[in-house]
Structure 1
């Protein structure tokens, strides 16, 4: 049974089913299982079983109860310091636009350490002194999707993978400069074995923020901001991103994403 060494999804384990309260044409998959490269790419808790050597995971970020506050000591007293936002100030070109956080693996691309004859990119990644070739497939219509999203929104790449893999992949994928900012694993919150993308840390109004991700665990703190997307591996007939464009074009005009998403969901 072949598994994705990048995002830890086994094709046979994916079960797509509709979920109440989401955009009707989207579906969610079951939680991911980890593999031998979990320390580099995995965003979920490790499963039992033999593992090959991999990079040690980074120290867990603060728990949700610690978000927004850090502690330091001055003259023996504890001082509360506001945690800096993950995103810089909004640029002039993005003033008034909704911020859309977009996932990478199984949302825009599928990557594997196993050679793929028709790979769109081959990216070298060094692990413990050894360079491995990562074979990357682009999801159908990803170029058209990103181009239009860049016109409509302030787009932010946010992935639970490490920058040493995700950054060069994004360089090749986003040659038009759609992503204003790139966020990687160290910007996630480690919560109950998962790397969660906490939208409250971005520094953007949550009523004007969306997240597009194939993993529900990634947006567990803010499910009402999510546009779920079906996981993609290698289906050349997939049209998920193309079908999502009318939804995002509609949402780009919303004053409040919660209100508009409820309308789209028929709530």
Structure 2
């Protein structure tokens, strides 16, 4: 599913497919799916799988919980997040997605890439070109001041961890969760907020893919998928909303009001 039998030989094909996709623009993205790629790029970045595919084998960083025969297997009792630190007591936990929410990454060389991340796959080193979404610095800095922020991505840690090291200059992310922390459900990697170990009335997820938060849509602040529009202001525009949200005891009324007004 994530890795074809001859993954390395398909790198060029993946580059071409993704180059074509990015040139066509984000307006072609389905509201419920991130870009689909059946090769190398999909195996590293994408949080969604083809709905007809089988769950990936354990050696490919499979999620801990997999849907079997129409029902979810038991999830580990251990919470995904460590105990809340004293300086975060009383704060809302904000789960933040990475790809197409904060950054966009590609194997295709990009002249204005903010970062170039080497990723080794099956003994071969590949360069991943990463673009930062406009205003991501201001956004993360302020979010880290207001909330207990958690990076939660369905991408592999070998790519997402070094990107986060470079991106988060303020230590906004108290924790980082990767693909293995997701639940594989009906072909998608889902971020099950009930497994975090936090009260759900104090948990928010920011993500461009509704499939990622299908278990808890009422906890979501959706954002538009971002690829390369340097005039984008979505993260900057969200800051006043989150400043207001940081002062409430229960997130549901505010998020419901936001959904009905948008």
> 2: distance between equivalents of 1:143 and 1:85?
29
> 2: distance between equivalents of 1:170 and 1:240?
20
Written as runs of structure 1 = structure 2, the 5 A alignment for 1:1-267 is 4=18, 12=24, 14-15=26-27, 29-32=31-34, 33-37=36-40, 38-46=42-50, 57-62=60-65, 63=67, 65-68=72-75, 83-266=77-260
**SS of equivalent to 1:85:** coil
**Any stretches of 5+ residues in structure 2 without a counterpart?**
1-14, 53-57
> 1: distance between equivalents of 2:131 and 2:171?
19
> 1: distance between equivalents of 2:144 and 2:186?
33
Residue 246 of structure 1: how far off its partner (Å): 1.1
Using the size of structure 2 for normalisation, the TM-score is 0.82
- With over 3 angstroms needed to count, the CA separation of the structure-2 counterparts of 1:173 and 1:4, relative to structure 1, is farther
Residue 43 of structure 1: how far off its partner (Å): 2.1
Using the size of structure 1 for normalisation, the TM-score is 0.81
Q: Deviations over 1:132-188 (max 9, x none)?
A: 011111100000000000010000000000000000000000021110000000000
8 Å contact kept, 2:47–2:153: no
- With over 3 angstroms needed to count, the CA separation of the structure-2 counterparts of 1:13 and 1:31, relative to structure 1, is farther
**SS of equivalent to 1:122:** strand
Would you identify which runs of 4 or more consecutive aligned residues in structure 1 move more than 6 Å? none
Residue 3 of structure 1: how far off its partner (Å): 5.1
The equivalent residue for 1:25 is none
**Any stretches of 5+ residues in structure 1 without a counterpart?**
18-27, 49-54, 71-82
**SS of equivalent to 2:162:** helix
> 2: distance between equivalents of 1:175 and 1:132?
25
Q: Deviations over 1:45-103 (max 9, x none)?
A: 2389xxxxxx96334532464344x5xxxxxxxxxxxx100000100110000000000
The equivalent residue for 2:5 is none
Residue 16 of structure 1: how far off its partner (Å): 8.0
From the two aligned structures, give the one with the greater helix fraction. 2
The RMSD of aligned alpha carbons is 2.6
Which structure's CA Rg is the greater one? Answer: 1
Residue 40 of structure 1: how far off its partner (Å): 2.3
